Amino acid sequence: MSNLRYISTTEITSAVNTLNITDVFTDDFDIYVIEGIDIAMTNGGGDYLFGRVINSSGSPINSDYDYASGYIPSSSSTLAAETGSSKTEWESLNFIGAGTEDIGNITMYIFNPTNTSSFTFYTLQGSSFRTPSTINYMWRSVGAHESTASITGIQFSAKTGNMDSGKFKIYGLRID
């Protein structure tokens, strides 16, 4: 039996490049679910959503990130892929256009964030919708933070522009 327990919501109400969500991961759960809902960006033709983990001192960690992302734009049947190892952040969690009606969404699972005997891992599914061009993207991504530091939060950022609106909901997933 599984139980999903609501922990918090962080809403973006004005333009920010970086959003820190702190003190949400505890020893109560080994798995967390993050929903990014209706995220809007500003930067010309759009922007990428990046992520970092935050340690128990409240500081983002800027090293040891590995990831692999695959996405398909609706204008093509070809899968595009991006990978990275030993990076300063998880790159390309989603691509979100910059039109007034462009939004992106993610569902991210974080595994073992406070376990100091294991790396922190994630899996992610995302989508974004661009209008009026109607180019939509479907994302899949996996990654690891290759450190055994106790992780208590997460940071999301736009690659070059800002996140203008949206919200991030966090849940703990208990498996009994």
Write the CATH number for 85.
2.60.120
Q: Nearest CA to 67 among 105, 122, 117?
A: 122
Nearest partner of 147 among 107, 109, 171, 112, judged by Cα? 112
Which stretches of 136-176 are DSSP H helices? none
Q: How far apart are CA 36 and CA 162, in angstroms?
A: 15
| Average pLDDT score over residue span 139-160 | 94
**pTM to 2 decimal places:** 0.91
Domain hosting 68: range is 2-139+148-175
**3-class SS letters over 101-118:** CCEEEEEEEEECCCCCCC
- The answer to whether the CB of 109 falls within 8 A of the CB of 33 is yes
Q: Which two tokens mark 93?
A: 């969690």
Q: What is the mean pLDDT of residues 144-150?
A: 95
What pLDDT does residue 99 have? Answer: 65
Nearest partner of 35 among 23, 26, 46, 24, judged by Cα: 24
Terminal CA-to-CA distance of the chain, rounded, Å?
A: 6
Q: Which helix (H) or strand (E) holds 68?
A: strand 65-73
Mean pLDDT score, 28-54 = 88
Q: What is the pLDDT of residue 131?
A: 64
**Which among 168, 148, 139, 171 has a CA at the least distance from the CA of 156?**
168
Average pLDDT over residues 84-99: 84
Given this model, what pLDDT does residue 48 score?
Answer: 83
Into how many domains does the chain fold? 1
Residues 118-135 have a mean pLDDT of: 82
* Average of per-residue pLDDT values in the chain: 89
* Look-up of token digits 């990130």: 65
